[in-house]
Amino acid sequence: MSIAEDDQKNSAQVPMNDVPKTDIEQLSINTIRTLAMDAVQAANSGHPGTPMALAPVAFTLWNRFLRYDPTEPLWPARDRFVLSCGHASMLLYALLHLAGVRAVDRDGKVRREPSITLDDIRRFRQLGSPCAGHPEHSEAAGIETTTGPLGQGVGNSVGMAIAARWLSARYDRPGFEMFGYNVYALCSDGDLMEGVANEAASMAGHLKLSNLCWIYDNNHITIEGDTKLAFDEEVATRFKGLGWNVKHIDDANDLSKLRAAYRAFGAQKVDKPTLIIVRSHIAFGSPNKQDTHGAHGSPLGEDEIRKTKAVYGWPEDAKFLVPDEVLKHFRGGVGRRGRKLHKEWTARFEQYAAAHPELAAEWQTLQAGKLPEGWDQDIPTFPTDAKGAATRVTSGKVLTSGGSADLAPSTMTLVDGGGDFEPGGYGNRNFHFGIREHGMAASLNGMALSGLRPYGATFFVFTDYMRPSMRLAALMRQPVLYVLTHDSIGLGEDGPTHQPVEHLAALRAIPRLIVLRPGDANEVAEAYRVALTHTHEPVALVLSRQNVPTLDRTQMAPAAGVARGGYVLSDPADGAPQVILIGTGTELSLAVAAGQKLAAEGIRARVVSFPSWELFEAQDAAYRESVLPAAITARVAVEAAVEQGWDRYLGPRGKFVGMTSFGASGPYAELYEHFGITAEAVVEAAKAAME
């Protein structure tokens, strides 16, 4: 079966005399609109208004300007299209279907069947359909990122634009300008109200990302009604102040002005990102009917759909109608253009690989998400040291690339000789995100979605600002690394506003996020080995400000046990353990000291290092039993955080030594004594657990 035949097989076939007689571009736009109406009505759930209003905007971009090959949707040099207003998901699904975007399996192999079939659209918002209520990355090829929480998509788009600039600066060579691309993000009033969008826009303006274009649907409507209830700022003025190039289109249906705006963006000479403000009106078939809630969750109803189709000159009772001419128009637009561009790029890449084989091999390794041979050979091993060092310090000695949210001197995350990523230095490795934790985390997702392995750093307490983006990284299985320092009351004098006590529990609650809290310098080194080998999960590396001893590994188990999440650090010299002491991070040394004190009193204690619950739970039952035998019910966990979640490992007889309140301001050693997190407290808890 040919590609054309396969396309037609999965779309509605319409006799020529039933097709509305209208301009092919308008026919295509109305096809998008009617698919949105029909899908939302069939689901009895969804948002028809925004896809209908933005159909001309998206159609013009896709079929006239987007560098995209539907038959190779993972082409690395493709332009990215991000639907930040994810509630308008039917707009994206309709585009993917009409453009004939191919499905991709989990190994990245392109399949012959469509990414989105008409049957998928008929089952919009139903269990098992890739046409979810909001676009979900990896559910279907062509969905570049998961959107839904407003502001996240535009935040991701900044990271994608950064990645394009970095890839181009690092791998392009004279005569081979081929690794960059443009990023388009369609956003709503709600996106621009969210703080993360402003953080991201500020970053983009500062970095002069002229390959980034946001298209703002200025429709004056939110779920409550008219935006003037809460939003009446001069958006254009704001973005000009942020360093953006701003264009206005007063009618979303004006295709000539849309084409001119996209053309101007592609040809612009200024080093600025672009905001195109498009005025749209969400209106339907009934006279003067304006949608104040349908854009945010209400089907139109059968009568209103028939009236609206009549306005379009569409068969009123036809459902999920896709005229042949529309499919041919898309195949002759984005399809033909994309195949031509992709074919030319592939030929140039073969020439590039012959001229620059080492760069080509490195780029291919990066795109495959693989690590180069011998990548970890220079990770240091640290000698035993009773004084030790802060785990943030040893982390800084291990790091090889990345960025930080303004706190690089404190988080120890600057790369010596790496240079700063900035205009004129887009190939450099250090990112300065400023005091924009949420914008940083959202852009890290965009970089990861573009094939990079980014990390971002800040104080652990400020994951409060990052959590929405961290959750989406886990949802999308993106290998983002978070370097989170100042992990407890151990940061001392800055006081309770900066001392995270509930944050370990909060991050451990996120599915797929691996939380690693290493206990000494060598566990830090092993934690990096673990983090970089996990290619489908984000990892949070939680590090201390205060010094911790570097343990004597000739007397204790090797730090390689970190890879299993929890491991037996030491056992009694003679006899089976009577009690198990479990420690993480800076409190591991307290468990070690308590074990020695108990041994002096003739009590046999096993000490377990437990840096990662998630990695431990991934081990088989036999291994978990070997570390935490069910028969030993006397257990103590020590962690300078709240107890939440520890009951699964402590059982009914176990004891917890940690925090039950917020922290306080004072020298860290005094704080540990004040809150009763000491080796002596662990000893007393062990005795109580044994009684």
- Smallest Cα–Cα separation from 155: which of 209, 113, 74, 94? 209
In the residue annotation, 437 being an active-site residue is answered as yes
- Host H or E run for residue 474: helix 463-475
157 and 213 Cβ atoms separated by less than 8 Å: no
What are φ and ψ of residue 112, in 5° steps? -80, -25
- Smallest Cα–Cα separation from 537: which of 486, 585, 480? 480
Burial level of 231, CB count in 10 A (0-12/13-18/19+)?
A: middle
Give the residue ranges of DSSP H helices in 222-268.
235-241, 255-267
What is residue 332's DSSP assignment?
Answer: I
Which residue carries 């081990």 as its tokens? Answer: 619
Which of 257-263's residues contact partners 24+ apart within 8 Å by CB, and which partners?
A: 258/56, 258/57, 258/60, 258/61, 259/60, 259/64, 259/65, 262/60, 262/61, 262/64, 262/65, 262/213, 263/65
382 and 394 Cβ atoms separated by less than 8 Å: yes
Number of Cβ within a 10 Å radius of residue 14: 18
- 584 Cβ contact list (under 8 Å, min separation 6): 517, 519, 609, 610, 611, 639
**Which residues are 283's β-sheet partners?**
290
- Smallest Cα–Cα separation from 166: which of 447, 479, 481, 535? 447
- Host H or E run for residue 97: helix 89-99
Cα gap 217→54, rounded to integer Å: 8
Pairing of strands 274-279, 212-218: parallel
69 and 172 Cβ atoms separated by less than 8 Å: no
403 and 421 Cβ atoms separated by less than 8 Å: yes
Cα gap 538→536, rounded to integer Å: 7
Single-letter amino acid, residue 637: A
Single-letter amino acid, residue 689: A
Cα gap 190→196, rounded to integer Å: 11
90 and 39 Cβ atoms separated by less than 8 Å: yes
- Smallest Cα–Cα separation from 82: which of 191, 179, 156? 156
Which residue carries 């079939």 as its tokens? Answer: 117
Catalytic residue among 437, 587, 614, 639: 437
Count Cα neighbours of 381 within 13 Å in the Cβ-side half-sphere: 8
Give the residue ranges of DSSP H helices in 319-462.
324-330, 336-355, 357-367, 391-398, 408-411, 437-449
Task: List, by residue number, the catalytic residues.
Answer: 437
